Structure 1
Amino acid sequence: MIGSFKQQKVSENQNIDNGDDKMSHLPDCILHHILSFLPTKEAVATCILSKRWKFLWTSVPSIDFDDSLLYSSRGNIWHSHEVIHFMNFVERVLLLRDASSIKKFRLSCRVCFSASHVHEWVSAAIGHNVQELDLCLFVDEPFMLPSCVFDNASLKTVKFEMNCILQLPTYISFPCLQKLQLCLVTFPKGNSMQKLFSSCPSLEELAVLDCEWMNLSRITISIPSLKSLTIDDLPFCSVDDLRGCEIKIDAGNLTFFKYSGYLSNEIHLCDLSSSAFASIHIPIIRERRWQVACRTVKLFGGLKNVSSLRISSGTIKCLFLADDVLDHIPMFQNLTHLELSRGFENNFIGVLLEFLQFLPKLESLLFLEVDICNLCACYGTQYWAGPDNGVGTGEGDYMPKSVPDCVLSTLKMVNFQKFQGCNPEMRLLKFLLKNALVLEKINLFCSQSLSGDLENQKKIGNQLRGLSIGSKHCTLAFM
């Protein structure tokens, strides 16, 4: 038996040496799937392996052209012979491509060396019934994509990343498009963008990232099929940038909405359903803070029905930047789950407790990746007043003027990520333990510095357990 086993291994090794490997016997569909994970340059290179592999690459369902991968490693420096090499490579791959459909086509390149060739390459790919189109084009002068891109029944996913005006044809039709991402583009004047959004009856996901809206005075995004909408505004804002576009969002089936930016554009969000999850980040801007506060309140007016919300500390502070808009903050009657992300600024705990007054049914409160230790020891008297009342441990500790209803009657769970046990965290925890009458559990996910410090964990636990706790069923757990 041992001798027979050795003969079998020798025979297998000889077959591999002769090029008769097991992978080559796999069906074409499996080999195509494997090759689709490789950059196109490497997929084409497999043609030298054997006769079996010679033409497999010509029918791979995914094509990825990235000029940076083909240039020599000199940073951003590129030369004419490298450009010619890249252009020849793309031309040959598309020319030798068989008649099979292309599932995904990605092109990332500089358009400046030959806009006409880029136009031809995209048109050639579209001719293969592309389902996913990803174009990342670096443009130095106006460039218009082929009209066949915008009159297309096969496309299901489209991504345009272009540092130029998105020039659109007069006729647009995307009957099957489900995902659309626009990045870095400048929207043109007129109604072409309105026409684009209205020409996607099956669209489910829309992402508008770092785009320029300033050529538009107003636009409506009304897509009944839309389920996910992400808007990330430009990461800079001057005092004059608040004269942006009025964006009305009317999508009754949205289940996810994310906004990040300075509200340089005014967003009117029609009421989201209670099943929707919203994520909002608005950094504080001192200039024109009244306008920002008004726009923040208007945005929150469209979120009043949601049951789950993730917001940054800056967003909450924006709500309270102008006193005369406080009466317009809506009551979140359905909101049961609140996540707080990003760092805590000075005075934030007091502002948070003010915000909780508008969340009468909150059940779970999560602090995500925050650095609460950057809080000022004194929170200020705008939201905090009075001496230590059994919750603080010394001078500088304050009690809120009133305890939010949700803390008294509905709050059941509190989670802290990267808990460090610093004074601001301890003050907030003591306040919650004293006043949260139905609180069931507090989970403290320790920071790296605290995770292995069992002695400090024990001291913190003893300090908190020694309090007069409002809820008799609350448990405290270190994670």
Structure 2
Amino acid sequence: METRSAKRRRLQIHNHSPVNNTGDDRITDLPDAIIHHILLLLPIKSIIQTSVLSKRWRTLWYTFPDLDFTSIVATTSNLTNNVDFNNILANGNVITRVLSLRDKFSDVRTLRFKACMSFSGLQALIRHAVRLSVQELDIMVENSDVFSFPRSIIRHDCLRVLKMKAFPSFRLPQSRIMRSGFQSLETLSLSFVYLGNQSSLLDMFTDCSFPQLKRLHLESCYNLKHLRVGCRLLEELALNKCCSLQGLEILCHRLMALKVSRCFGGSYGYDTWFQIDAPRLHTLVWVNNLITSKNCLQNLVCLHEATVGFFVSQQDLDADKLVSVSSLLSGLSHAASLTLERPFVEMISKNNPLGAMFFNPFTRLNSLELQTSEVSRLASVLKVCPIINTLIIKINNSYKKERRRNRLSEDPSSSCDWESQMKDVKPLILQRLEVVKIQGFSEYEISLVKFLLQHGKVLQDLILYLDQDNNSRCYEKLKSRIMGFDRCSLDVKLVFH
């Protein structure tokens, strides 16, 4: 007869057999760090629900280091204290209750949430987060009125990342208060900031206030007129929708990426300016900004990629603004890759003085992307890019549709005489051009294609993405016509899409 101990051993062996699907819970036996990593892939509601499985899983929930409440949708019907964990919602009171359960167990590495809450509720929540030594804090708060930045987090030594967005907005404390903390902060993102009378931030973003700051993002800073950024370790800087900005000074010797968009828009009637001194800058994006009165770009010797575009109307341009544009492009002359957006390209093309006085030639430029509505105006731009290897042209189709309706030309191929326009620089600009891509191609770009094929000595690839409005018959006609052009380079490959 089988004894009880023998039977128990037999059942244990059977349960651990690979062919048995009813064995022990293998996941529960994993180390906490591995289970935490697996749980990180789940929404927080599912993570909370695992706490009812056993005492072991309750402990796992209490020690889970990353709390992301952004996957939970808040509704007004659930903004109460009587909340079941199975129906938890992004309410400030609920998040505070969850944090209060962690005081006895472990710290929180990451806390993210979106909530509609009062300022006092936010202060209480932040105090809980500070006690739990939170390292990354990402919050989006909605309130009925403008509230103050929670000061309890300023002196939190463990904080590495702070992202704060508030509706309608929040007020920043004075620079002297900000300088008393944030000694370990590496990433700062502030959105919807109301500055009021504190319209100049000249001594806030310095080494004294943020000695370890590497990434800074400012969005929708209301009434911000003058900004100076001089953090020694800063590597990334992004400014967006700072419409009141009149003066911008960036002095960051380690800055590698800079993006400025939708700024200087509310400064009509004021002299606007910016100064950038960033010898390690690698990527610059300057788009949808109004043209400033003055600018100064210094030491951009490591610049690799630049994108430039302005929000501008032709009647707003005067001689000073044109000089400012010329100065901007001169400062970008070290770029290896350049993208010019459509309004900017057409502004350059329509102003002949620019072509005469313009900027230093782009002697290091390898790749050029031009966005336009008409290729006949690109000659003046190409003249200052003599040694490019890759040319990308993106054509806006709306102009061509209007052109067809008005029947401006019976022979589209004769719309631009590229031979005469490029006569002075033709040997230079075509001596290294190997790849050309034209998106939105139609019959109006025939003359450009013909010019490139006849004079591109080292041309390797000519890729044409045809306008979607062209039917199959038109497509075949264009293709047949292009294939019949003479070619200077015997190695060129024609590709039609």
Which TM-score tier does this pair reach, normalised by the shorter chain?
0.7 to 0.9
Number of the residue aligned with 1:285: 313
Q: Which of 341, 363, 370 is matched with 1:333 structurally?
A: 363
Number of the residue aligned with 2:234: none
Number of the residue aligned with 1:428: 448
Find the residue that maps to 1:184 and give its secondary structure: strand
Q: 1:150-180, CA deviations, whole angstroms, 9 ceiling, x for partnerless residues?
A: 4455443332323425413424254444433
Pick closer, same or farther for the CA change 1:149–1:232 going to 2, 3 Å: farther
Q: Count residues in correspondence.
A: 442
Number of the residue aligned with 1:468: 486
Distance in 1 (alpha carbons) for counterparts of 2:390 and 2:51: 57
Question: TM-score, normalising length from structure 1?
Answer: 0.78
Number of the residue aligned with 1:195: 204
Distance in 2 (alpha carbons) for counterparts of 1:136 and 1:359: 45
Distance in 2 (alpha carbons) for counterparts of 1:226 and 1:336: 23
Pick closer, same or farther for the CA change 1:399–1:275 going to 2, 3 Å: closer
Find the residue that maps to 1:135 and give its secondary structure: strand
Distance in 2 (alpha carbons) for counterparts of 1:376 and 1:364: 28
Number of the residue aligned with 1:185: 193
- Tell me the CA shift for residue 42 of structure 1: 3.3
Number of the residue aligned with 1:168: 173
Q: Does the CA-based 8 Å contact 2:414-2:447 persist in structure 1?
A: no
Higher-Rg member (1/2): 2
Aligned runs of 1:22-33 on 2, under 5 Å? 22-33=26-37
Number of the residue aligned with 1:107: 113
- Which amino acid is 1:182 matched to? L
Pick closer, same or farther for the CA change 1:362–1:423 going to 2, 3 Å: same
Q: Does 1:232 align with 2:261?
A: yes
Higher strand proportion: 2
Q: Does 1:402 align with 2:405?
A: no
- Tell me the CA shift for residue 122 of structure 1: 2.3
Q: Does the CA-based 8 Å contact 2:442-2:466 persist in structure 1?
A: no
Distance in 2 (alpha carbons) for counterparts of 1:65 and 1:31: 19
Q: Does the CA-based 8 Å contact 1:293-1:321 persist in structure 2?
A: no
- Tell me the CA shift for residue 90 of structure 1: 0.8
Distance in 2 (alpha carbons) for counterparts of 1:153 and 1:60: 21
Q: Does 1:363 align with 2:389?
A: yes
- Which amino acid is 2:421 matched to? S
Q: Does 1:52 align with 2:79?
A: no
Number of the residue aligned with 1:75: none
Aligned runs of 1:52-71 on 2, under 5 Å? 52-66=56-70, 69-71=72-74
Q: Does the CA-based 8 Å contact 1:263-1:295 persist in structure 2?
A: no
Distance in 2 (alpha carbons) for counterparts of 1:308 and 1:25: 53
**RMSD (CA atoms):** 3.8
Q: Does 1:129 align with 2:157?
A: no
Q: Does the CA-based 8 Å contact 2:387-2:429 persist in structure 1?
A: no
Distance in 2 (alpha carbons) for counterparts of 1:247 and 1:152: 33
- Tell me the CA shift for residue 233 of structure 1: 1.7
Number of the residue aligned with 1:382: none
Amino-acid identity (%) = 23
- Tell me the CA shift for residue 52 of structure 1: 2.4
Distance in 2 (alpha carbons) for counterparts of 1:242 and 1:34: 57
Distance in 1 (alpha carbons) for counterparts of 2:402 and 2:194: 45
Find the residue that maps to 1:130 and give its secondary structure: coil
- Which amino acid is 1:464 matched to? I
Q: Does the CA-based 8 Å contact 2:441-2:464 persist in structure 1?
A: no
Distance in 1 (alpha carbons) for counterparts of 2:32 and 2:330: 55
Aligned runs of 1:37-48 on 2, under 5 Å? 37-48=41-52
- Tell me the CA shift for residue 227 of structure 1: 1.6
Find the residue that maps to 2:189 and give its secondary structure: strand
Which runs of 5 or more structure 2 residues have no equivalent in the other structure?
1-12, 84-90, 227-245
Q: 1:341-380, CA deviations, whole angstroms, 9 ceiling, x for partnerless residues?
A: 5xx33xx423322111111221111235x5457337879x
- Which amino acid is 1:129 matched to? S
Question: TM-score, normalising length from structure 2?
Answer: 0.75
Number of the residue aligned with 1:159: 163
Distance in 2 (alpha carbons) for counterparts of 1:264 and 1:186: 25
Pick closer, same or farther for the CA change 1:264–1:55 going to 2, 3 Å: farther
- Tell me the CA shift for residue 398 of structure 1: 4.1
Q: 1:47-80, CA deviations, whole angstroms, 9 ceiling, x for partnerless residues?
A: 12333211322222222234x83434xxxxx358
